Amino acid sequence: MPDFVATAPRGAADLLTAELGTFGAQELRERPSGSTCSGSLEVAYRACLWSRVASRVLMTLHVGDAGTPEALYASAREIDWSLHLGPSATLAVDFDSVRSAVTHTRFGALKVKDAIVDQLRELRGDRPNIDTAHPDVRVSVRVVADRATFAIDLSGDSLHRRDWRGAGVAAPLKENLAATLLLRAGWADIAAAGGAFVDPMCGSGTLPIEAALIATDTAPGITRKYFGFLGWAQHDAALWARLLEEAQSRSTCAQFEPDRIFGSDIDPRAIQAAQEGARLAGVERIVKLQTMPLARVTRPAEKGLLLVNPPYGERLGEEEGLRALYRELGLVLRERFDGWQAAVFTGNPGLGREIGLDAKRRHHLYNGPIEAHLLRFDVSVSSRPREHRPGHLPPVDPARRESGGAQMFANRLRKNLDTLGKWARREGVTCWRVYDADMPEYSFAIDVYGSNDTNAGRYAYVQEYAAPASVMEERVRNRRAEAVSVLPEVLGVPEDRIWFRTRRRRKGLDQYTKLASEQAFHEVAEGGLRFLVNFDDYLDTGLFLDHRMTRARVRELAAGRRFLNLFAYTGSATVYAAAGGATSTTTVDMSRTYLEWAYRNLELNGFDGREHVLVQADALEWVRNAPSGGWDLIFLDPPTFSNSKRMSETLDVQRDHVALLESTLRLVAPGGILVFSTNFTRFEMDASLTAIAAVEDISRATVPRDFERHPRIHRCFLLRPKVFA
């Protein structure tokens, strides 16, 4: 049986895997971007016709060497293309690569196309024509670590295109993402139980139309005229005709009640586009669409689902105006949809909180490149939120203060404040870690942040380490309540200046993941310098306290040197280098948000001249193209792991550090220094690097006193390139 790869929107791989199982797929394996499986051709055809969440269905042909362009060409010729392309077939090649010698996608596609054309010309004396829009055969080639996987794209075009979308109609949601939201929100079960559906901001109707297709068991691909297998030489037309006939007979559109699926929008042009889409999808009889403001929306039945994709406020200045919209949505839900299920898909969790309901569940998804969440609610009085500011200290229960556990925790905290406090005052340290799970049953990390202004007071940032699944939730809540009850008094910090988060093990750049959108910055001090921190919007505040001594080392080394900061985050090391007398600084990060933050940190300390350059780029790619010997001091602090969609490749610091350091050392001028830091606690430096650089491990010397409980919290090295005659 052939092997297949099916792709889906990020966050929907489990739904796709479940779908493929119902189509008869075997050897299913879920992956971040979709699923792999094996099965008959019927399995693949059913996936193209029936999958609501798939983006593409690929049939694997061959895996071969792609270490060089010539090897890629040779691997492509190992496939007998006459089995797949008829004499008059048209062709297109899609190509992408990760960690490969062939990095240019158009060049890679051209090499594969040349291999196919050359082989067919030699075999049959003809060559296929190229059609990039709707080819008879679309070949997909993906190269990872110089190994190429060749496949036939049986979908031909992204399966989110159901062919019911009117020409020229822009939509904020792709159809397969809309179906993903509906399935996540439980619409299939609600529809089967007779429930209704409402989208009060339906735009061009994607959610109501997809809801109708699900409720009536209508195949999402039944209206498509083009698939990648229709012009394929091995296409089984009889099988496809049978599956289409079966799909037509399964649809219950003709019998479905007409007053259960509703969509409305304040824009009459959007409703006109939605009505045309419903007609083309064959569901115009059962999808009721009308122009109506949110304030007038009411529930059409006792039970059902309200699902909405409101604006996110992506452009500068939009967010404040959208707060009222989200508040109005919350009011409509509470006053008119009691007993219903509700789900809100938003790329702005800060706005999501304005709804005023506690989400029972959150699903992490992406709308294109935008990280978003599907917030799900049981609409009832009990779902209304507790009266405390999100991200701040939970309500203090005075009755807990006198418990034995609370007093024991308070005593330990006071002891730390006394002993470490003396050290902090002596060393002039204003931002430091007071407590770090010193008592395992009270598993918190507690940091205090102060500023140069002694009258401004200080802040506290409390992170609760997520308890193992084996610990009963009631015990976790009790210990949390005990700790919370004594924190303001013992720390000497008012409740409204204490932030509280739960910290779980995270991968890649998730450690910097945005939590809200308030952009509430507070000025703090470190090493006589000023920095902006943010306790509301991100799990990490913008100033890694365990790197305090590393930043001080950068300042010591910076005098008279050209400084480069890679994976710069909020630019704190750049500020230190500038303060140490660097003649110029270059700060590289992929995030515009963090670069703006870095600029504000530099400006706050008076370093806003032209000699301080900020670059928005993928640091891995930027390093490869930067001029050799351009910097005298480089600070390199990459994430432990990253598979960010905006990066051209994944990064695993242990696996990839040799190549990364070799590339970066090329940028160091003679006599220069590379400071390399990583928070991967099990990191081991590859001994081969000593052949090109003198390597000095300064990890122990850069762990501050307040982090000595965890001496391997980070690893830090100085690398000086060796000069070869």
- Residue 475's pLDDT band, with cuts at 50, 70 and 90, is confident
Domain with residues 540-721, CATH architecture: 3-Layer(aba) Sandwich (3.40)
Among 262-271, 504-513, 701-710, where is mean pLDDT lowest? Answer: 504-513
**8 Å CB contact between 712 and 681:** yes
- Residue 155's pLDDT band, with cuts at 50, 70 and 90, is very high
Joined together, the tokens standing for residue 154 give 């049986």
Joined together, the tokens standing for residue 508 give 């890649």
Joined together, the tokens standing for residue 463 give 């992170």
Q: How far is 95 from 99, CA to CA, in rounded Å? A: 14
H-type helices in 126-236, by residue range? 175-184, 187-192, 206-215
Which pLDDT does position 575 carry in this prediction?
Answer: 97
Could you tell me what percent of the chain has a pLDDT over 90? 74
Answer yes or no: is pLDDT of 505 > 50.
no
Q: Which residues contact 642 (CB under 8 A, 6 or more apart)?
A: 508, 509, 650, 651
How far is CA 458 from each of CA 273, 462, 539, 718, rounded to the nearest angstrom? Answer: 55, 13, 19, 34
Which pLDDT does position 407 carry in this prediction?
Answer: 94
Amino acid identity of residue 704, one-letter, is P
Answer yes or no: is pLDDT of 388 > 70.
no
Could you tell me what percent of the chain has a pLDDT over 70? 92
Report the C-alpha dihedral over residues 277, 278, 282, 286, rounded to 10 degrees: 180
Residue in this structure with the two tokens 């932030």, named with its chain if needed: 499
- Residue 509's pLDDT band, with cuts at 50, 70 and 90, is very low
Q: What is the pTM of this model?
A: 0.58
Provide the CB-side half-sphere exposure for 93 (13 A, CA): 24
**8 Å CB contact between 569 and 589:** yes
Query: Residues 391-414, buried b or exposed e (16+ Cβ, 10 A)?
Result: bbbbebeeebeebebbeebbeebe
Answer yes or no: is pLDDT of 385 > 60.
no
Among 72-86, 301-315, 697-711, where is mean pLDDT lowest? Answer: 301-315
Q: What is the mean pLDDT of residues 325-333?
A: 91
Which pLDDT does position 510 carry in this prediction?
Answer: 40
Answer yes or no: is pLDDT of 170 > 70.
no
Among 51-55, 110-114, 120-124, 645-649, where is mean pLDDT lowest? Answer: 645-649
Q: What is the mean pLDDT of residues 82-100?
A: 94
Which pLDDT does position 453 carry in this prediction?
Answer: 63
3-state helix, strand, coil split of the chain in percent (to 5) is 35, 25, 40
Query: Residues 469-482, buried b or exposed e (16+ Cβ, 10 A)?
Result: eeeeeeebeebbbb
The CATH topology of domain 3-153 is VC0802-like (3.30.2130)
Specify whether domain 175-217+252-383 bears CATH 3.40.50.150.
yes
H helices, E strands: number in the chain: 18, 30
Answer yes or no: is pLDDT of 28 > 50.
yes
Which pLDDT does position 508 carry in this prediction?
Answer: 39
Amino acid identity of residue 579, one-letter, is A
| CA-closest candidate to residue 112, choices 78, 84, 86 | 78
Q: What is the mean pLDDT of the chain?
A: 90
Which pLDDT does position 249 carry in this prediction?
Answer: 97
How far is CA 351 from each of CA 324, 329, 362, 541, 593, rounded to the nearest angstrom? Answer: 9, 11, 14, 20, 18
Number of Cβ within a 10 Å radius of residue 233: 16
Provide the CB-side half-sphere exposure for 540 (13 A, CA): 15
Given CA atoms 326, 331, 332, 338 in this order, what sign does their dihedral have?
Answer: positive
What are the residue boundaries of the structural domains of the chain, listed by start? Answer: 3-153, 175-217+252-383, 398-505, 540-721
Give the tens place of pLDDT for each residue, 32-58.
889 999 999 999 999 999 999 999 999
- Residue 167's pLDDT band, with cuts at 50, 70 and 90, is low
Give the tens place of pLDDT for each residue, 181-197.
999 999 999 999 999 99
Answer yes or no: is pLDDT of 648 > 70.
no
- Residue 314's pLDDT band, with cuts at 50, 70 and 90, is low
Among 225-229, 597-601, 714-718, where is mean pLDDT lowest? Answer: 597-601
Which pLDDT does position 683 carry in this prediction?
Answer: 95
The larger pLDDT score, comparing residue 593 to residue 525, is at 525
Let me know if the fold of 175-217+252-383 is the same as that of 398-505: no
Residue in this structure with the two tokens 């394929």, named with its chain if needed: 232
Q: How far is 87 from 90, CA to CA, in rounded Å? A: 9
- H or E segment at 97? strand 90-98
Number of Cβ within a 10 Å radius of residue 423: 13
Which pLDDT does position 454 carry in this prediction?
Answer: 54
Answer yes or no: is pLDDT of 679 > 60.
yes
- Residue 386's pLDDT band, with cuts at 50, 70 and 90, is very low
Q: What is the mean pLDDT of residues 223-233?
A: 96
The larger pLDDT score, comparing residue 647 to residue 369, is at 369
Q: How far is 552 from 558, CA to CA, in rounded Å? A: 10
**Category of 317 on φ-ψ map: left (φ > 0), alpha (ψ -120 to 50) or beta:** left
Q: How far is 650 from 107, CA to CA, in rounded Å? A: 21
The CATH topology of domain 398-505 is Transcription Regulator spoIIAA (3.30.750)
| CA-closest candidate to residue 307, choices 357, 344, 270 | 344
The larger pLDDT score, comparing residue 141 to residue 360, is at 141
Among 306-315, 511-520, 692-701, where is mean pLDDT lowest? Answer: 511-520
Q: What is the mean pLDDT of residues 239-261?
A: 95
